[in-house]
A and B are shown apart, each in its own frame.
Chain A
Amino acid sequence: MRTLNNYTENLQHRLTEYCRTGIPDFLPGTNDKGMKHYRRLSFNIFNNTLEQAYPITHEYLDESEWLELVNGFFSGHDCQTPLLWQMPYEFYTYVEENNLKIKEKYPFLPELLYFEWLEIEVHTMEDIDIEEQYIPDKQFNDTVPLINPEHRLVQLNYPLHLKPIKEAIRHPGQYFVLIFRDPDEGNVHFINLSVVFVFALEQLSQQDLTIQQLAEMISEKFGVEDAEKIKKHLKSFFEDLFTQQAMLGYKHKK
Protein backbone atom coordinates (compact mmCIF):
# COMPACT_ATOMS: atom_id res chain seq x y z
CA MET A 1 0.00 0.00 0.00
CA ARG A 2 1.32 3.40 -0.98
CA THR A 3 1.91 5.61 2.05
CA LEU A 4 3.76 8.60 0.62
CA ASN A 5 1.72 11.41 -0.94
CA ASN A 6 2.60 12.65 -4.40
CA TYR A 7 3.17 16.05 -2.86
CA THR A 8 5.88 14.85 -0.46
CA GLU A 9 7.47 12.66 -3.12
CA ASN A 10 7.59 15.64 -5.43
CA LEU A 11 9.30 17.76 -2.76
CA GLN A 12 11.98 15.10 -2.44
CA HIS A 13 12.52 14.86 -6.19
CA ARG A 14 12.74 18.62 -6.52
CA LEU A 15 15.35 18.90 -3.79
CA THR A 16 17.43 16.22 -5.49
CA GLU A 17 17.05 17.88 -8.88
CA TYR A 18 18.19 21.17 -7.43
CA CYS A 19 21.27 19.45 -5.95
CA ARG A 20 22.06 17.86 -9.29
CA THR A 21 21.53 20.87 -11.53
CA GLY A 22 21.99 23.89 -9.29
CA ILE A 23 18.96 25.46 -10.98
CA PRO A 24 17.11 27.36 -8.22
CA ASP A 25 13.80 25.83 -7.17
CA PHE A 26 11.91 27.64 -4.48
CA LEU A 27 10.68 24.75 -2.39
CA PRO A 28 8.11 25.64 0.27
CA GLY A 29 9.35 25.86 3.81
CA THR A 30 13.05 25.84 2.90
CA ASN A 31 15.76 28.42 3.44
CA ASP A 32 18.03 29.54 0.65
CA LYS A 33 21.26 29.23 2.61
CA GLY A 34 20.58 25.62 3.55
CA MET A 35 19.54 24.72 0.01
CA LYS A 36 22.79 26.11 -1.38
CA HIS A 37 24.71 24.10 1.15
CA TYR A 38 23.14 20.87 -0.14
CA ARG A 39 23.99 21.75 -3.73
CA ARG A 40 27.61 22.55 -2.78
CA LEU A 41 28.06 19.48 -0.62
CA SER A 42 26.54 16.98 -3.05
CA PHE A 43 28.52 18.39 -5.98
CA ASN A 44 31.71 18.23 -3.92
CA ILE A 45 31.08 14.57 -3.15
CA PHE A 46 31.03 13.83 -6.88
CA ASN A 47 33.88 16.15 -7.76
CA ASN A 48 36.21 14.98 -4.99
CA THR A 49 35.53 11.30 -5.62
CA LEU A 50 36.17 11.70 -9.35
CA GLU A 51 39.31 13.78 -8.80
CA GLN A 52 40.72 11.04 -6.62
CA ALA A 53 39.78 8.30 -9.07
CA TYR A 54 41.04 10.10 -12.17
CA PRO A 55 44.08 12.18 -11.15
CA ILE A 56 45.70 12.06 -14.61
CA THR A 57 42.53 13.15 -16.41
CA HIS A 58 41.88 15.84 -13.85
CA GLU A 59 45.36 17.25 -14.25
CA TYR A 60 45.27 17.06 -18.03
CA LEU A 61 41.99 18.89 -18.57
CA ASP A 62 41.52 22.59 -17.91
CA GLU A 63 39.66 23.17 -14.67
CA SER A 64 36.66 24.54 -16.59
CA GLU A 65 36.61 21.47 -18.88
CA TRP A 66 36.81 19.16 -15.88
CA LEU A 67 34.03 20.95 -14.01
CA GLU A 68 31.79 20.97 -17.07
CA LEU A 69 32.31 17.24 -17.46
CA VAL A 70 31.57 16.53 -13.79
CA ASN A 71 28.54 18.83 -13.86
CA GLY A 72 27.21 17.09 -16.96
CA PHE A 73 27.64 13.71 -15.32
CA PHE A 74 26.10 14.75 -12.02
CA SER A 75 23.05 16.32 -13.62
CA GLY A 76 22.66 13.98 -16.58
CA HIS A 77 23.53 10.52 -15.38
CA ASP A 78 21.49 8.50 -12.87
CA CYS A 79 24.08 6.77 -10.70
CA GLN A 80 23.06 3.20 -10.04
CA THR A 81 25.66 1.91 -7.65
CA PRO A 82 25.04 2.37 -3.92
CA LEU A 83 28.81 2.12 -3.40
CA LEU A 84 30.43 5.51 -3.82
CA TRP A 85 33.80 4.01 -4.66
CA GLN A 86 32.26 2.35 -7.73
CA MET A 87 30.65 5.58 -8.98
CA PRO A 88 33.76 6.57 -11.03
CA TYR A 89 33.20 3.53 -13.22
CA GLU A 90 29.82 4.99 -14.17
CA PHE A 91 31.59 8.25 -14.99
CA TYR A 92 33.84 6.40 -17.43
CA THR A 93 30.88 4.65 -19.11
CA TYR A 94 28.99 7.97 -19.26
CA VAL A 95 31.88 9.55 -21.17
CA GLU A 96 32.31 6.44 -23.33
CA GLU A 97 28.64 6.12 -24.27
CA ASN A 98 27.57 9.71 -24.73
CA ASN A 99 28.16 12.06 -27.59
CA LEU A 100 30.11 14.70 -25.67
CA LYS A 101 31.72 17.64 -27.37
CA ILE A 102 34.87 17.30 -25.29
CA LYS A 103 35.62 14.00 -27.02
CA GLU A 104 36.08 15.86 -30.31
CA LYS A 105 38.92 17.81 -28.70
CA TYR A 106 40.29 14.84 -26.74
CA PRO A 107 39.42 11.64 -28.64
CA PHE A 108 41.57 9.64 -26.22
CA LEU A 109 39.52 10.75 -23.19
CA PRO A 110 37.40 7.57 -22.80
CA GLU A 111 40.51 5.41 -23.00
CA LEU A 112 42.37 7.52 -20.47
CA LEU A 113 39.46 7.19 -18.04
CA TYR A 114 39.25 3.47 -18.73
CA PHE A 115 42.97 3.10 -18.05
CA GLU A 116 42.73 4.99 -14.77
CA TRP A 117 39.65 3.01 -13.76
CA LEU A 118 41.40 -0.29 -14.50
CA GLU A 119 43.98 0.43 -11.86
CA ILE A 120 41.21 0.94 -9.27
CA GLU A 121 39.33 -2.10 -10.50
CA VAL A 122 42.31 -4.44 -10.31
CA HIS A 123 43.41 -3.02 -6.96
CA THR A 124 39.99 -3.48 -5.37
CA MET A 125 38.47 -6.43 -7.27
CA GLU A 126 37.19 -9.17 -5.02
CA ASP A 127 39.68 -11.90 -4.17
CA ILE A 128 39.58 -14.89 -6.47
CA ASP A 129 40.32 -18.12 -4.68
CA ILE A 130 42.47 -20.71 -6.42
CA GLU A 131 40.81 -24.03 -5.81
CA GLU A 132 43.27 -26.12 -7.75
CA GLN A 133 46.56 -27.40 -6.36
CA TYR A 134 49.56 -25.76 -7.93
CA ILE A 135 53.31 -25.79 -7.65
CA PRO A 136 54.66 -22.35 -6.82
CA ASP A 137 57.83 -22.66 -8.84
CA LYS A 138 59.31 -21.51 -12.10
CA GLN A 139 59.14 -24.47 -14.41
CA PHE A 140 57.86 -28.02 -14.56
CA ASN A 141 57.45 -30.19 -17.59
CA ASP A 142 53.99 -31.41 -18.56
CA THR A 143 52.36 -28.90 -16.33
CA VAL A 144 50.23 -25.86 -17.11
CA PRO A 145 51.16 -22.26 -16.28
CA LEU A 146 48.77 -20.86 -13.70
CA ILE A 147 48.25 -17.15 -14.25
CA ASN A 148 47.43 -14.94 -11.28
CA PRO A 149 43.63 -14.70 -11.67
CA GLU A 150 43.47 -11.16 -10.30
CA HIS A 151 44.24 -9.51 -13.60
CA ARG A 152 42.80 -7.84 -16.69
CA LEU A 153 44.15 -8.25 -20.20
CA VAL A 154 43.38 -5.19 -22.32
CA GLN A 155 44.12 -3.57 -25.62
CA LEU A 156 44.85 0.15 -25.71
CA ASN A 157 45.16 2.60 -28.56
CA TYR A 158 47.72 4.71 -26.72
CA PRO A 159 50.70 3.59 -24.60
CA LEU A 160 49.25 5.05 -21.40
CA HIS A 161 51.01 2.35 -19.35
CA LEU A 162 54.41 3.28 -20.80
CA LYS A 163 54.53 7.04 -21.19
CA PRO A 164 53.14 10.20 -19.58
CA ILE A 165 49.81 11.21 -21.11
CA LYS A 166 51.13 14.12 -23.21
CA GLU A 167 53.65 11.81 -24.86
CA ALA A 168 51.39 8.75 -25.05
CA ILE A 169 48.79 10.54 -27.17
CA ARG A 170 51.44 11.19 -29.82
CA HIS A 171 51.97 7.44 -30.31
CA PRO A 172 48.64 5.90 -31.30
CA GLY A 173 48.82 2.22 -32.14
CA GLN A 174 47.93 -1.22 -30.82
CA TYR A 175 49.16 -1.92 -27.31
CA PHE A 176 48.42 -4.94 -25.17
CA VAL A 177 48.68 -4.76 -21.41
CA LEU A 178 48.45 -7.27 -18.61
CA ILE A 179 47.31 -5.47 -15.46
CA PHE A 180 47.51 -7.56 -12.31
CA ARG A 181 47.53 -7.35 -8.53
CA ASP A 182 50.41 -8.92 -6.68
CA PRO A 183 49.21 -11.36 -4.02
CA ASP A 184 51.52 -10.11 -1.24
CA GLU A 185 51.11 -6.35 -1.10
CA GLY A 186 48.07 -5.96 -3.34
CA ASN A 187 49.88 -3.45 -5.57
CA VAL A 188 48.87 -3.09 -9.22
CA HIS A 189 51.43 -3.69 -11.97
CA PHE A 190 51.37 -3.28 -15.75
CA ILE A 191 53.19 -5.49 -18.25
CA ASN A 192 53.39 -4.54 -21.91
CA LEU A 193 52.79 -7.61 -24.08
CA SER A 194 53.43 -8.62 -27.67
CA VAL A 195 50.51 -9.98 -29.64
CA VAL A 196 52.00 -13.51 -29.46
CA PHE A 197 52.01 -13.53 -25.68
CA VAL A 198 48.49 -12.09 -25.60
CA PHE A 199 47.43 -15.01 -27.76
CA ALA A 200 49.16 -17.42 -25.34
CA LEU A 201 47.42 -15.88 -22.30
CA GLU A 202 44.04 -15.91 -24.04
CA GLN A 203 44.43 -19.58 -24.91
CA LEU A 204 45.42 -20.37 -21.33
CA SER A 205 42.34 -18.61 -20.02
CA GLN A 206 40.17 -20.95 -22.08
CA GLN A 207 41.86 -24.31 -21.52
CA ASP A 208 44.71 -26.06 -19.75
CA LEU A 209 47.73 -26.09 -22.06
CA THR A 210 51.35 -27.04 -21.50
CA ILE A 211 54.08 -24.81 -22.84
CA GLN A 212 54.73 -27.41 -25.53
CA GLN A 213 51.08 -27.25 -26.65
CA LEU A 214 51.08 -23.48 -26.55
CA ALA A 215 54.22 -23.37 -28.69
CA GLU A 216 52.59 -25.62 -31.27
CA MET A 217 49.46 -23.45 -31.37
CA ILE A 218 51.50 -20.29 -31.79
CA SER A 219 53.56 -21.92 -34.50
CA GLU A 220 50.41 -22.74 -36.41
CA LYS A 221 48.62 -19.45 -35.79
CA PHE A 222 51.52 -17.16 -36.67
CA GLY A 223 53.18 -19.38 -39.28
CA VAL A 224 56.44 -19.74 -37.39
CA GLU A 225 58.03 -23.10 -38.11
CA ASP A 226 60.57 -23.28 -35.28
CA ALA A 227 58.32 -24.43 -32.40
CA GLU A 228 61.35 -25.11 -30.19
CA LYS A 229 62.39 -21.48 -30.43
CA ILE A 230 58.86 -20.40 -29.52
CA LYS A 231 58.92 -22.77 -26.56
CA LYS A 232 62.15 -21.18 -25.36
CA HIS A 233 60.61 -17.70 -25.61
CA LEU A 234 57.48 -18.88 -23.80
CA LYS A 235 59.54 -20.38 -20.96
CA SER A 236 61.38 -17.12 -20.57
CA PHE A 237 58.08 -15.18 -20.71
CA PHE A 238 56.45 -17.31 -18.02
CA GLU A 239 59.58 -17.14 -15.86
CA ASP A 240 59.32 -13.38 -16.03
CA LEU A 241 55.61 -13.45 -15.19
CA PHE A 242 56.37 -15.74 -12.24
CA THR A 243 59.09 -13.42 -10.95
CA GLN A 244 56.70 -10.47 -11.11
CA GLN A 245 53.88 -12.50 -9.48
CA ALA A 246 51.66 -12.24 -12.54
CA MET A 247 51.87 -16.02 -12.56
CA LEU A 248 51.46 -18.15 -9.47
CA GLY A 249 53.20 -21.33 -10.64
CA TYR A 250 52.30 -24.50 -12.46
CA LYS A 251 49.42 -26.90 -12.07
CA HIS A 252 48.83 -30.39 -13.37
CA LYS A 253 46.84 -30.65 -16.55
CA LYS A 254 43.25 -31.74 -16.05
Chain B
Amino acid sequence: MNTKVGIGLRREFVDELAQQQQLHPDFIELAPENWMKMGGYWKKKLRQVTEKYPVTSHGLSLSLGSPENLDYDFIKDLKKFLDENDVQIFSEHLSYTKTNNAHIYDLLPIPFREDAVKHVASRIREAQELLGRKIAIENVSYYTPVDAEMDEADFLTNIAEEADCNILLDVNNVYVNAFNHNYDARKFISRLPLEKVAYIHMAGHEQVDSDLIIDTHSEAIIDPVYRLFEYTVNRMPEVPVLLERDFNFPELNELQQEMNNLRNITEKAWRKENANAK
Protein backbone atom coordinates (compact mmCIF):
# COMPACT_ATOMS: atom_id res chain seq x y z
CA MET B 1 0.00 0.00 0.00
CA ASN B 2 2.88 2.41 -0.57
CA THR B 3 2.64 5.75 -2.39
CA LYS B 4 -1.11 5.63 -2.20
CA VAL B 5 -3.59 8.38 -1.48
CA GLY B 6 -6.94 7.43 -0.02
CA ILE B 7 -10.04 9.06 1.38
CA GLY B 8 -12.10 8.54 4.52
CA LEU B 9 -15.36 6.80 3.74
CA ARG B 10 -18.41 8.92 4.48
CA ARG B 11 -22.01 7.95 3.92
CA GLU B 12 -22.46 11.19 1.96
CA PHE B 13 -20.36 9.89 -0.91
CA VAL B 14 -20.52 6.13 -0.54
CA ASP B 15 -22.50 5.79 -3.81
CA GLU B 16 -19.96 7.87 -5.66
CA LEU B 17 -17.15 5.66 -4.41
CA ALA B 18 -19.04 2.57 -5.51
CA GLN B 19 -19.56 4.04 -8.98
CA GLN B 20 -16.03 5.47 -9.28
CA GLN B 21 -17.00 8.46 -11.40
CA GLN B 22 -15.47 11.55 -9.81
CA LEU B 23 -13.47 10.18 -6.89
CA HIS B 24 -10.51 7.92 -7.57
CA PRO B 25 -8.78 7.12 -4.29
CA ASP B 26 -6.24 4.31 -4.10
CA PHE B 27 -7.86 3.06 -0.91
CA ILE B 28 -10.55 3.98 1.56
CA GLU B 29 -10.45 4.33 5.32
CA LEU B 30 -13.41 3.54 7.49
CA ALA B 31 -14.20 3.93 11.17
CA PRO B 32 -15.18 0.43 12.29
CA GLU B 33 -17.52 1.73 14.99
CA ASN B 34 -19.67 3.40 12.32
CA TRP B 35 -20.22 0.12 10.46
CA MET B 36 -19.91 -2.69 12.99
CA LYS B 37 -22.96 -4.81 13.80
CA MET B 38 -24.93 -3.33 10.93
CA GLY B 39 -26.87 -5.22 8.33
CA GLY B 40 -29.31 -4.16 5.65
CA TYR B 41 -28.81 -1.11 3.48
CA TRP B 42 -25.53 0.10 4.97
CA LYS B 43 -23.95 -3.33 4.97
CA LYS B 44 -24.71 -3.63 1.27
CA LYS B 45 -23.23 -0.20 0.61
CA LEU B 46 -20.13 -1.03 2.61
CA ARG B 47 -19.66 -4.26 0.68
CA GLN B 48 -20.00 -2.42 -2.66
CA VAL B 49 -17.14 -0.14 -1.65
CA THR B 50 -14.87 -2.64 0.07
CA GLU B 51 -15.07 -4.90 -2.98
CA LYS B 52 -13.56 -2.09 -5.07
CA TYR B 53 -10.85 -0.63 -2.83
CA PRO B 54 -8.22 -1.75 -0.33
CA VAL B 55 -9.32 -0.80 3.17
CA THR B 56 -7.64 0.85 6.14
CA SER B 57 -9.43 1.39 9.38
CA HIS B 58 -9.34 4.19 11.95
CA GLY B 59 -10.80 3.30 15.35
CA LEU B 60 -12.80 5.59 17.59
CA SER B 61 -13.72 3.72 20.76
CA LEU B 62 -10.84 1.47 21.73
CA SER B 63 -9.93 4.22 24.18
CA LEU B 64 -6.26 3.30 24.46
CA GLY B 65 -5.69 6.01 27.06
CA SER B 66 -8.39 4.91 29.52
CA PRO B 67 -7.42 4.20 33.12
CA GLU B 68 -9.51 1.03 33.22
CA ASN B 69 -9.13 -2.34 31.52
CA LEU B 70 -9.61 -2.79 27.80
CA ASP B 71 -13.09 -3.77 26.63
CA TYR B 72 -12.39 -7.37 25.64
CA ASP B 73 -15.81 -8.04 24.09
CA PHE B 74 -15.43 -4.99 21.91
CA ILE B 75 -11.92 -6.02 20.85
CA LYS B 76 -13.24 -9.43 19.83
CA ASP B 77 -15.92 -7.81 17.65
CA LEU B 78 -13.40 -5.35 16.28
CA LYS B 79 -10.98 -8.10 15.28
CA LYS B 80 -13.76 -9.93 13.48
CA PHE B 81 -14.66 -6.74 11.60
CA LEU B 82 -11.04 -6.00 10.66
CA ASP B 83 -10.51 -9.57 9.47
CA GLU B 84 -13.75 -9.69 7.49
CA ASN B 85 -12.90 -6.47 5.68
CA ASP B 86 -9.26 -7.39 5.08
CA VAL B 87 -8.10 -4.22 6.78
CA GLN B 88 -4.48 -3.47 5.88
CA ILE B 89 -3.69 -0.78 8.43
CA PHE B 90 -5.48 -0.29 11.72
CA SER B 91 -5.00 2.97 13.57
CA GLU B 92 -6.40 4.49 16.75
CA HIS B 93 -6.21 7.80 18.54
CA LEU B 94 -3.73 8.43 21.30
CA SER B 95 -6.50 9.65 23.57
CA TYR B 96 -9.28 8.31 25.74
CA THR B 97 -13.03 8.24 25.19
CA LYS B 98 -14.09 6.34 28.28
CA THR B 99 -13.55 6.57 32.04
CA ASN B 100 -15.48 5.31 35.07
CA ASN B 101 -17.11 2.73 32.84
CA ALA B 102 -18.82 5.35 30.66
CA HIS B 103 -18.19 6.23 27.03
CA ILE B 104 -18.33 9.89 26.07
CA TYR B 105 -17.36 9.41 22.38
CA ASP B 106 -14.98 12.36 22.34
CA LEU B 107 -11.19 12.24 22.09
CA LEU B 108 -9.92 13.50 25.43
CA PRO B 109 -6.25 14.37 26.00
CA ILE B 110 -4.24 11.92 28.09
CA PRO B 111 -2.08 13.73 30.67
CA PHE B 112 1.47 13.72 29.26
CA ARG B 113 2.91 11.98 32.33
CA GLU B 114 5.48 9.25 32.96
CA ASP B 115 3.03 6.78 34.47
CA ALA B 116 0.59 7.37 31.60
CA VAL B 117 3.33 6.43 29.11
CA LYS B 118 3.82 3.06 30.79
CA HIS B 119 0.11 2.49 31.28
CA VAL B 120 -0.94 3.37 27.74
CA ALA B 121 1.98 1.46 26.20
CA SER B 122 0.97 -1.65 28.09
CA ARG B 123 -2.64 -1.30 26.89
CA ILE B 124 -1.47 -0.87 23.29
CA ARG B 125 0.71 -3.97 23.54
CA GLU B 126 -2.21 -5.95 24.91
CA ALA B 127 -4.60 -4.63 22.25
CA GLN B 128 -2.10 -5.44 19.49
CA GLU B 129 -1.78 -8.97 20.77
CA LEU B 130 -5.54 -9.47 20.93
CA LEU B 131 -6.13 -7.91 17.53
CA GLY B 132 -3.29 -9.86 15.96
CA ARG B 133 -1.85 -6.79 14.25
CA LYS B 134 0.11 -3.64 14.94
CA ILE B 135 -1.74 -0.47 15.78
CA ALA B 136 -0.71 2.90 14.40
CA ILE B 137 -1.38 5.47 17.12
CA GLU B 138 -2.42 8.91 16.01
CA ASN B 139 -1.23 12.20 17.46
CA VAL B 140 -4.55 13.87 18.24
CA SER B 141 -5.33 17.54 18.26
CA TYR B 142 -5.67 18.66 21.87
CA TYR B 143 -6.97 21.93 23.24
CA THR B 144 -5.46 21.86 26.68
CA PRO B 145 -2.67 19.87 28.28
CA VAL B 146 -3.50 18.31 31.66
CA ASP B 147 -0.77 18.69 34.30
CA ALA B 148 1.89 17.58 31.83
CA GLU B 149 5.33 16.28 32.88
CA MET B 150 6.65 16.19 29.32
CA ASP B 151 5.72 17.63 25.95
CA GLU B 152 3.64 15.95 23.28
CA ALA B 153 6.56 14.86 21.09
CA ASP B 154 8.20 13.01 23.98
CA PHE B 155 4.90 11.52 25.07
CA LEU B 156 4.12 10.16 21.60
CA THR B 157 7.68 8.95 21.00
CA ASN B 158 8.01 7.23 24.37
CA ILE B 159 4.71 5.41 23.97
CA ALA B 160 5.44 4.31 20.38
CA GLU B 161 8.80 2.95 21.47
CA GLU B 162 7.61 1.29 24.65
CA ALA B 163 4.54 -0.24 22.99
CA ASP B 164 6.41 -1.28 19.84
CA CYS B 165 3.57 0.13 17.77
CA ASN B 166 3.43 2.29 14.67
CA ILE B 167 2.51 5.93 14.38
CA LEU B 168 -0.23 7.51 12.33
CA LEU B 169 1.08 11.02 11.82
CA ASP B 170 -1.71 13.52 11.38
CA VAL B 171 0.11 16.46 9.85
CA ASN B 172 -2.87 18.77 10.23
CA ASN B 173 -3.03 17.94 13.93
CA VAL B 174 0.62 18.86 14.28
CA TYR B 175 -0.14 22.21 12.65
CA VAL B 176 -3.22 22.76 14.85
CA ASN B 177 -1.40 21.85 18.06
CA ALA B 178 1.66 23.92 17.16
CA PHE B 179 -0.60 26.93 16.58
CA ASN B 180 -2.75 26.42 19.69
CA HIS B 181 0.16 25.66 22.02
CA ASN B 182 2.69 27.93 20.42
CA TYR B 183 5.43 25.60 19.31
CA ASP B 184 7.31 24.96 16.08
CA ALA B 185 5.57 22.32 13.95
CA ARG B 186 8.70 21.41 11.97
CA LYS B 187 10.77 20.96 15.08
CA PHE B 188 8.01 18.76 16.49
CA ILE B 189 8.09 16.56 13.41
CA SER B 190 11.86 16.35 13.34
CA ARG B 191 11.83 15.04 16.92
CA LEU B 192 9.54 12.11 16.09
CA PRO B 193 10.80 8.62 15.20
CA LEU B 194 9.68 8.99 11.59
CA GLU B 195 10.72 5.43 10.78
CA LYS B 196 7.76 4.35 12.91
CA VAL B 197 5.24 6.34 10.88
CA ALA B 198 3.17 3.84 8.91
CA TYR B 199 0.44 6.17 7.72
CA ILE B 200 -0.34 9.87 7.33
CA HIS B 201 -3.58 11.83 7.74
CA MET B 202 -4.23 15.18 6.13
CA ALA B 203 -7.25 17.41 6.65
CA GLY B 204 -8.58 20.92 6.86
CA HIS B 205 -9.39 22.83 10.03
CA GLU B 206 -11.18 25.94 11.19
CA GLN B 207 -9.67 28.91 12.97
CA VAL B 208 -12.36 30.03 15.42
CA ASP B 209 -10.39 32.66 17.30
CA SER B 210 -7.15 34.59 17.01
CA ASP B 211 -5.47 31.98 19.19
CA LEU B 212 -7.56 28.86 18.58
CA ILE B 213 -7.85 26.43 15.69
CA ILE B 214 -10.30 23.56 15.86
CA ASP B 215 -9.57 20.33 14.01
CA THR B 216 -12.94 20.12 12.26
CA HIS B 217 -12.19 18.21 9.03
CA SER B 218 -14.71 20.58 7.49
CA GLU B 219 -12.52 22.72 5.25
CA ALA B 220 -10.01 22.28 2.47
CA ILE B 221 -6.37 21.77 3.41
CA ILE B 222 -4.60 25.12 3.63
CA ASP B 223 -1.23 25.89 2.05
CA PRO B 224 0.80 26.00 5.30
CA VAL B 225 -0.39 22.47 6.06
CA TYR B 226 0.57 21.33 2.54
CA ARG B 227 4.00 22.82 3.14
CA LEU B 228 4.31 21.03 6.47
CA PHE B 229 3.27 17.83 4.72
CA GLU B 230 5.94 18.35 2.07
CA TYR B 231 8.51 18.97 4.79
CA THR B 232 7.44 15.75 6.48
CA VAL B 233 7.37 13.40 3.51
CA ASN B 234 10.81 14.57 2.44
CA ARG B 235 12.14 13.18 5.71
CA MET B 236 10.55 9.77 5.80
CA PRO B 237 9.97 6.62 3.76
CA GLU B 238 6.87 6.04 1.63
CA VAL B 239 3.60 5.41 3.45
CA PRO B 240 -0.06 5.69 2.47
CA VAL B 241 -1.65 9.12 2.86
CA LEU B 242 -5.29 9.76 3.69
CA LEU B 243 -7.51 12.78 3.06
CA GLU B 244 -10.08 13.26 5.83
CA ARG B 245 -13.23 15.25 5.16
CA ASP B 246 -16.11 14.74 7.56
CA PHE B 247 -18.38 17.79 7.24
CA ASN B 248 -19.27 20.66 4.94
CA PHE B 249 -18.66 18.62 1.82
CA PRO B 250 -17.57 20.48 -1.30
CA GLU B 251 -18.06 19.34 -4.90
CA LEU B 252 -16.47 15.94 -5.30
CA ASN B 253 -14.00 17.18 -7.89
CA GLU B 254 -12.57 19.46 -5.19
CA LEU B 255 -11.92 16.45 -2.97
CA GLN B 256 -10.31 14.70 -5.92
CA GLN B 257 -8.15 17.77 -6.50
CA GLU B 258 -6.97 17.64 -2.88
CA MET B 259 -6.03 13.98 -3.34
CA ASN B 260 -4.18 14.93 -6.53
CA ASN B 261 -2.29 17.65 -4.64
CA LEU B 262 -1.22 15.14 -2.01
CA ARG B 263 -0.20 12.63 -4.66
CA ASN B 264 1.90 15.21 -6.50
CA ILE B 265 3.77 16.13 -3.34
CA THR B 266 4.42 12.52 -2.34
CA GLU B 267 5.49 11.48 -5.83
CA LYS B 268 7.99 14.29 -5.98
CA ALA B 269 9.43 13.43 -2.56
CA TRP B 270 9.37 9.68 -2.77
CA ARG B 271 10.37 9.35 -6.42
CA LYS B 272 13.50 11.26 -5.47
CA GLU B 273 14.00 8.98 -2.49
CA ASN B 274 13.57 5.85 -4.64
CA ALA B 275 16.01 7.17 -7.22
CA ASN B 276 18.57 7.80 -4.49
CA ALA B 277 18.07 4.29 -3.16
CA LYS B 278 18.95 2.84 -6.57
Q: Hey, which bits of chain A sit against chain B, CB under 8 A?
A: 3-5, 8-9, 11-13, 15-17, 19-20, 27-31, 33-35, 37-38, 41-42, 45-46, 49, 74, 77-87, 123-128, 150, 181, 185-187
Q: Is the CB of A33 within 8 A of B67?
A: no
Min C-beta distance of A8 to chain B, whole Å: 5
Is B106's beta carbon under 8 Å from chain A?
A: yes
What are 26 A-B residue pairs whose CB atoms fall within 8 Å in the complex? A3-B119, A4-B118, A5-B113, A5-B115, A8-B111, A13-B100, A28-B147, A29-B148, A30-B146, A31-B143, A33-B212, A34-B142, A37-B214, A41-B106, A42-B104, A45-B105, A79-B104, A82-B33, A82-B98, A82-B103, A83-B36, A84-B60, A84-B105, A125-B40, A127-B43, A150-B39
Given contacts A5-B115, A84-B34, A126-B39, A13 and B106 within 8 Å (CB-CB): no
Among residues of B, the one whose C-beta sits closest to the C-beta of A5 is: B115
Most buried by B among A17, A83, A181: A83
Is B190's beta carbon under 8 Å from chain A?
A: no
Q: Is the CB of B146 within 8 A of A19?
A: no
Given contacts A29-B111, A150-B40, 6 further A-B contacts (CB under 8 A): A35-B143, A74-B104, A83-B33, A84-B105, A85-B38, A127-B40
Q: Is the CB of B113 within 8 A of A20?
A: no
| Across-interface contacts of A11 in B (CB, < 8 A) | 111, 146-147
In the bound complex, what is the Cα–Cα distance between A29 and B147 (angstroms)? Answer: 4
In the bound complex, what is the Cα–Cα distance between A19 and B104 (angstroms)? Answer: 8
Q: Is the CB of A3 within 8 A of B40?
A: no
| Across-interface contacts of B39 in A (CB, < 8 A) | 124-128, 150
Q: Is the CB of A4 within 8 A of B99?
A: no
Min C-beta distance of A41 to chain B, whole Å: 6
Among residues of A, the one whose C-beta sits closest to the C-beta of B68 is: A9
Is B232's beta carbon under 8 Å from chain A?
A: no
In the bound complex, what is the Cα–Cα distance between A45 and B97 (angstroms)? Answer: 12
Choice from B67, B145, B209 contacting A13 with Cβ under 8 Å = B67
Closest 9 CB pairs of A and B: A34-B144, A186-B41, A34-B143, A78-B102, A82-B61, A29-B147, A127-B39, A4-B119, A42-B106
Is B37's beta carbon under 8 Å from chain A?
A: yes
Encode contact with A along B86-98: 1 for CB under 8 Å, 0 otherwise. 0000000000101
In the bound complex, what is the Cα–Cα distance between A33 and B104 (angstroms)? Answer: 20
